[in-house]
Structure 1
Amino acid sequence: MPEKIENPTIAVLLPCYNEEVTIGKVVRDFRAALPTADIYVYDNNSSDKTAEIAAAEGAIVRREPRQGKGNVIRAMFEEIDADVYVMSDGDDTYPADAAPAMVEKVLEGYDMVIGDRLSSTYFQENKRPFHNFGNKLVRGSINHLFGSNVRDIMTGYRAFSFTYVKTYPVLSRGFEVETEMTIHTLDKNVRWYEMPIQYRDRPEGSVSKLNTVGDGIKVMSTIFRLIREYKPLPFFTILGGIIGIIGLGFGISVCIDFWNSGVVLRFPTLIGSVLLVMVGLLLIIAGIILDVMAKKDRKQYLVDKNMFAYMHRH
């Protein structure tokens, strides 16, 4: 583990969209938990008084015109410099008093600390059963693929090191960004730590911006895309193998007919089976090539991360 930073600078990041009911309390809570931190509220085209209330509570308010949580986080990571970053939501569902312990873990050398809701009160507090099902589905699929044991894949309460923030490419535009972040962490084998936190449901008057079906589809499509990018060899090998086996099955049926009759009775089926086998083989070859490129990308990430760590120390 690296040497601890003396008097670290801390930035609290709060992406917000129409959170006037809760944002004042959230800013006050984080101010009490981390008195030396700079608290940033990024207003994402709110139509209420979110920005005004946050500014009145002493937060640094900035605006991000590109709609979507992923766009806000991209702007935050690009514009803000600090030794430790704490990211939360403006809806008062995450406890600010857990932030000092998360900051301490980053200072010990972890690149990302995950605030784990699912091991504590999430399933009791969250009143949306499809959200609970979605969390379990995403967690199971990602842990199985990467051989990991992350308990909360989609939490919005996290802490980061400087090098993680400056080397993580935020590609997602919306709420699927947390899933992307977790997969990136597992793929690049960075140091991460998971800490149980007490989750509470939104207070009365605060409305969730999540769309269970729409955002659920986005999350699953993001997982599909990231598996294709980060794990191309198993992805394309399985896909190519399935297509190749189907083609082989059609080819065998044509061969059986030829064995019994002495003539090829189904030329279109024979041609189709050969094409399917060829497509299967091409997909497997593509998977091998893309896997080499993915390993090269991991190497380049380590070089970039080491460079930013050196720049940050000096």
Structure 2
Amino acid sequence: MPETKEQLSPKAAASSIAVLIPCYNEEVTIGKVVRDFHAALPGATVYVYDNNSTDATAEIARREGAVVRREPRQGKGNVVRAMFNQVDADIYVMVDGDDTYPAEESVKLVNKIAEGYDMVIGDRLSSTYFEENKRPFHNFGNKLVRSFINRFFHANVRDIMTGYRAFSYSYVKTYPCLSRGFEIETEMTIFSLDKNVRIYETPIQYRDRPEGSESKLNTVGDGVKVLNTIFSMIRQYKPMPYFNALAAVFGAFGIGFLISVLVEFSQTHMVARFPTLIVSVLLILIALLLFVAGIILDAHARKDRKDYLLWQNLFAQAPGAASAENGVVRGANARDVNTRDKR
């Protein structure tokens, strides 16, 4: 028996919806992507942000009825920053322009935002990603990043780097987009986990790029950027364990050197290796300084989380930011990544 096609809920249907598509040289697929989203979300406005394409991406998108804008700063993170700043809507859907994500899946994402979630993640990895994606290093990287972030943030997010997401108005307007390139999805997920925004994750179908469409992702170069983003954000959002780990390393070496000097002193009642003693004391002092830095920065990180929640709630209640007439809930502050669709 064929599966019943999901329909927009009354709340979602009464909301303004923006489909955001960052694009760089996607003339092979962008026309179909725009048509598919017009069909899946008839009342939505489709925005295509052209990131210095050298092909006919912008012309094709415009011909298919999309609102086309240009972002001169190269990089997906720069495009996302521009889209979030410039577009106003009740609900946002962000998707890649490579036709790897089915447009009909967006209805599920939009309905969850209308229920009150701040970010809905389209989970490829629980569906067809590993069968469709023919790049083994990409598959390995997705698993590695997922395992590391979930372990460190005590979360259960299945797909950290998916490009298919939906957002609430308050999330989009209070999210500080700092990344410039493809590491934006990783940054977005870590930020959301740290700030305890309400997240929902639902499995979506994934298909590999059609013939003639080439990926812009550099496996090694962008992989290094993603890892750098992870460690940078851990230092920012989880300073206590980060600096405690460094302190433990320096302290272990310092104490090890000091013990060797003390053993020798207990036998000869003389300190024959003053340089070793000095180095050991310096290492222990560095460890203590790192430990204190972790305590101070952890207090700052806690204050940052509190300030974000206050700003998000204030922003959601500001004039023009609420949609009481259509029942859209904004500014929720609970994480729900363990609630998952079954397919």
Asked if TM exceeds 0.5, the reply is yes
Partner Cα distance (1:304, 1:265) in 2 = 60
Equivalence for 2:276: 269
* Paired letter, 1:236: F
* Paired letter, 1:313: A
Equivalence for 1:300: 307
Q: Would you say the 8 A contact 2:12–2:111 is kept in 1?
A: no
Partner Cα distance (1:288, 1:296) in 2 = 13
Partner Cα distance (1:122, 1:265) in 2 = 63
Are 1:75 and 2:82 matched, yes or no?
yes
Residue 4 of structure 1, CA deviation: 4.7
Residue 313 of structure 1, CA deviation: 1.6
* Paired letter, 2:240: L
Partner Cα distance (1:5, 1:131) in 2 = 34
Equivalence for 2:256: 249
* Paired letter, 1:31: H
Partner SS state of residue 62, structure 1: strand
What do residues 191-217 of structure 1 show as CA deviations (whole Å, max 9, x unaligned)? 110010000000000000000000000
Equivalence for 1:162: 169
Q: 1:313 aligns with which of 322, 335, 342?
A: 322
Residue 242 of structure 1, CA deviation: 1.2
Q: 1:115 aligns with which of 79, 103, 122?
A: 122
Residue 5 of structure 1, CA deviation: 6.8
Residue 307 of structure 1, CA deviation: 1.1
Are 1:20 and 2:52 matched, yes or no?
no
Q: 1:43 aligns with which of 43, 47, 50?
A: 50
Residue 6 of structure 1, CA deviation: 6.9
Partner SS state of residue 47, structure 2: strand
What do residues 61-87 of structure 1 show as CA deviations (whole Å, max 9, x unaligned)? 000000000000000000000000000
Equivalence for 2:236: 229
Identity %: 70
Return 5+ residue gaps in structure 2 as ranges.
1-9, 324-343
Partner Cα distance (1:313, 1:195) in 2 = 26
Q: 1:90 aligns with which of 94, 97, 102?
A: 97
Partner Cα distance (2:97, 2:12) in 1 = 28
**Which has the higher relative contact order, 1 or 2, with Cα contacts under 8 A spaced 6 or more apart?**
2
The aligned runs of 1:109-258 (5 Å cut-off) are 109-258=116-265
What do residues 29-81 of structure 1 show as CA deviations (whole Å, max 9, x unaligned)? 00000000000000000000000000000000000000000000000000000
What do residues 208-264 of structure 1 show as CA deviations (whole Å, max 9, x unaligned)? 000000000000000000000000000001111111111010000011111111211
The total of aligned residue pairs comes to 312
Partner Cα distance (2:200, 2:98) in 1 = 24
Partner Cα distance (2:67, 2:12) in 1 = 24
Partner SS state of residue 204, structure 1: coil
Partner Cα distance (2:57, 2:282) in 1 = 59
Q: Would you identify which runs of 4 or more consecutive aligned residues in structure 1 move more than 2 Å?
A: 3-6
Higher helix share goes to which structure? 1
* Paired letter, 2:84: F
Partner Cα distance (2:273, 2:128) in 1 = 62
Worse-superposed segment, 70-79 or 235-244: 235-244
Partner Cα distance (1:293, 1:95) in 2 = 42
Partner SS state of residue 317, structure 2: helix
Equivalence for 1:59: 66
Partner Cα distance (2:106, 2:219) in 1 = 28
Partner Cα distance (2:135, 2:287) in 1 = 42
Return 5+ residue gaps in structure 1 as ranges.
none
User: Normalised by the size of structure 1, how large is the TM-score?
Assistant: 0.98
* Paired letter, 2:220: V
Q: 2:292 aligns with which of 285, 302, 308?
A: 285
* Paired letter, 1:112: M
Q: Would you say the 8 A contact 2:76–2:184 is kept in 1?
A: yes
User: Normalised by the size of structure 2, how large is the TM-score?
Assistant: 0.90
What do residues 115-168 of structure 1 show as CA deviations (whole Å, max 9, x unaligned)? 000000000000000000000000000000111100000000000000000000
* Paired letter, 1:10: I
Q: Would you say the 8 A contact 2:93–2:164 is kept in 1?
A: yes
